Amino acid sequence: MATDAKEGGQELVFHPMDQFIVKPLFGDGPVGLFTVTNVTFWMVLTVLAIVGLLVLGTSGRATIPNRTQSVAELAYGFIRKMVEDVAGKDALPYFPYIMTLFMFIVFSNFLGLIPGAFTTTSHIAVTAVLAMLVFVAVTVIGFVKHGAGFLGLFWVGAAPLPLRPILAVIEVISYFVRPVSHSIRLAGNMMAGHAVIKVFAAFAPLVLISTGIGLVVTPLSILAITAIYALEMLVAFIQAYVFTILTCVYLKDALHPAH
Amino acid sequence: MATETHDAAGSTSACVDAGGGAIGMPQLCPDWMGNQIFWLVVTLVVIFFILSRIALPRIAAVLAERQGTITNDLAAAEDLKVKAQEAEEAYEKALADARSKANEIIAEAKAEIKAEQDEAAKKADAQIAEKAAESEKAIAEIRASALENVETVAKDTAKELVAAMGQKADTAAIDKAVAARLKG
Amino acid sequence: MEGDIAQMGQFIGAGLASVGMGGAAVGVGNVVGNFLSGALRNPSAAAGQTATMFIGIAFAEALGIFSFLVALLLMFAV
């Protein structure tokens, strides 16, 4: 790799994956189940940010809202409308959990964009738990609400009869692939963006090593970091939105399984 | 890539090499997953309770209250609008009343004036007629007296003429002649 | 220098896997482009279908992310 470029004792740093390492916050011990790590730190920060926006921001209870309160109300109205439009009125009891998901993901994504931050949602372990919770909850809700009728989700009534068993197999497979794609989409997007930024960041100090090619590469890579960063801001929101809206879609399937 | 550095001295995890760099993908390191999952669940539970107990009911209440205020304000505005319309109608009615009354008064005054004028004209006509009759009479008198005078003057003149001619005037004959002349 | 052939194989494989992301790019562009051409024909119906568009984008993009993941796995995990 580019690490061979040595000049004046300096080495080009090129470790795009180092930013995802889980470290204990205090001391150097091993990472056990309850160890306070950087994961804990950034998750606590996420909770604090959510509290700041949704609890402290609305503490005025003003009829004419200030800026923070309007943002909180905007978020509330946005997710509530999404749940109502996509999953239907009878999905509103699940609105608090969907709101929890959205707020957690959107704040983790944006806090992760702070330079030097640790992005909790870039870890498959985290997103897999989020997706599995949704998957298990949706399956349980489907069977509780409709009993065996929930299996009608896999039996496409609109298709010609000979095709239906084949379609049923495909539907079952796609149903079980849901949590996989649901979790990997979020983690992959986050990881990809951050790794790409890191790769460009590694090229940025090239001018310190070699003034020849560095004069061209350094400005280009700084420009690229800026552009990718802007894209990541968009991705951070869109992935939270997509995760939430897919949760709503799955919930709709559980509440109204008929095709 | 670097799987051979697993047993590096000083590393606290199988996924970190001696220099603190990542071995492979940190996302796939099984040592860290339990920790992440534990803290994620704690975080989710905390957020869920904060949202469902404090934040969401509060925002819902604020939104409902605002909706109520807006509805009330709209109703009040509607009320005021109706009132304003009523006031405008009353004003228009008063204006129309005043106008019709004014027209009435004008018509009355016109009629009065006309009647007065008519009477005055009649009176004037009568006076004029009276005066005309009087004048006629005076003229007739004057004319009669004038004729009489003419007769007298003619008789006198004739007498004088006859006298001037040196003859003795016969008064009766002269009177008869003058009368005949005047009649002719 | 031992293991160099295997490493070369890894890197070539990672590069090949990255090509799959181009397919995701085409897919996402296709989704948004078609949405836009439909939305320009009937702008009044567009607002209600933005959510559907984002779901479509998510599905198209997920497959590109899978290929990216394969590339990353080849680079760092194998």
CB pair distance less than 8 Å for B48 and A100: yes
Flag whether residue C8 sits within 8 Å of chain B, measured between CB atoms.
no
As a whole number of angstroms, the distance between CA A99 and CA A90 comes to 16
The amino acid occupying position A187 is A
Q: Between the CA of residue B128 and those of B117, B123, B136, B140, B142, what are the distances in Å?
A: 16, 8, 12, 18, 20
Mean pLDDT of chain A, nearest integer? 87
Q: How confident is the model at residue B30 (pLDDT cuts 50, 70, 90)?
A: confident
**How far is A201 from A220, CA to CA, in rounded Å?**
11
Closest CA to A68 of A80, A81, A55, A78: A55
Q: How far is B5 from chain C (nearest CA, A)?
A: 13
Domain spans in chain C, listed from the N-terminal domain onward: 20-77
pLDDT at B1: 42
Helix (H, G, I), strand (E, B) or coil at A208: helix
Chain C interface, mutation test: which of A122, A181, A248, A253, most C Cβ atoms within 10 Å? A181
pLDDT of the residue at A206: 83
**Out of C7, C10, C76, whose CB is closest to B25?**
C76
Q: Check residues B66 and A3 and name the one with the higher pLDDT.
A: B66
Nearest to C65 among A17, A85, A185 (CB): A185
Given a cut of 80, whether residue A4 has pLDDT beyond it is no
Amino acid A12: pLDDT: 57
The one-letter amino acid at A23:
K
Q: Give the confidence band of A13 by pLDDT, cuts at 50, 70, 90.
A: low
By CA distance, what is A190's nearest residue in B?
B27
Binned at pLDDT 50, 70 and 90, residue B12 comes out as low
Buried b (16+ CB within 10 A) or exposed e, B34-64: ebbbbbbeebbebbbebbeeebbebbeebee
pLDDT in tens, A30-66: 788 888 888 999 999 999 999 999 999 888 888 888 8
A251-258: average pLDDT: 86
Q: Is the confidence at residue A223, as pLDDT, over 90?
A: yes
Residue of chain B with shortest Cα separation from C77: B24
How many B-C residue pairs are in contact by the CB < 8 A criterion? 14
Partner-chain contact C54 A17, CB within 8 Å? no
Crossing angle between the packed helical segments A124-146 and A164-203, to the nearest 10 degrees: 160
How far from A201 is each of A20, A123, A220, A255, CA to CA, in Å?
A: 15, 21, 11, 47
Which pLDDT score is estimated for B184?
66
Provide the token pair at A100.
Answer: 């929890």
Nearest CA in chain C to B27: C77
The 10s digit of each residue's pLDDT in B130-177 is 999 999 999 999 988 888 888 888 888 888 888 888 777 677 887 888
pLDDT digits (tens, 9 = 90+) for A111-163: 999 988 899 999 999 999 999 999 999 999 999 998 888 888 888 878 888 88
Residue A244, token pair as written in the block: 């939430």
How many pairs of residues across A and B have Cβ atoms under 8 Å apart? 145
Per-residue pLDDT of chain C (78 residues; tens, 9 = 90+): 456 888 888 889 999 999 998 999 999 999 999 999 999 998 888 888 888 888 888 888 878 888 888 888 888 777
pTM, two decimal places = 0.75
Total domains, chain A: 1
Asked if C77 has any chain A CB less than 8 Å from its own CB, the reply is no
A51 in reach of chain B (CB within 8 A) = yes
pLDDT for the residue B154: 83
User: What does the pLDDT read at residue C3?
Assistant: 67
Alpha helices in chain A (DSSP H): 38-50, 67-82, 95-112, 124-146, 164-203, 206-209, 211-255
DSSP C3-67: THHHHHHHHHHHHHHHHHHHHHHHHHHHHHHHHHHHHHH-HHHHGGGHHHHHHHHHHHHHHHHHH
Q: Of the candidates C77, B19, B34, B26, which has an alpha carbon nearest to the alpha carbon of residue A33?
A: B34
| Cα–Cα distance measured from residue A178 to residue A131, given in angstroms and rounded to the nearest whole number | 8
User: What pLDDT does residue A14 have?
Assistant: 66
Instruction: List, as own/partner pairs, every contact residues A81-86 make where C-beta atoms lie below 8 angstroms and the sequence separation is at least 24, other chains included.
Output: A82/A244, A82/A245, A82/A248, A82/C51, A83/A248, A83/A251, A85/C51, A86/A245, A86/A248, A86/A249, A86/A252, A86/C51
Instruction: State the pLDDT at residue C47.
Output: 83
Give the 3-state secondary structure of residue B70.
helix
pLDDT score for B39: 92
A123 shares contact with chain C (CB less than 8 Å): no
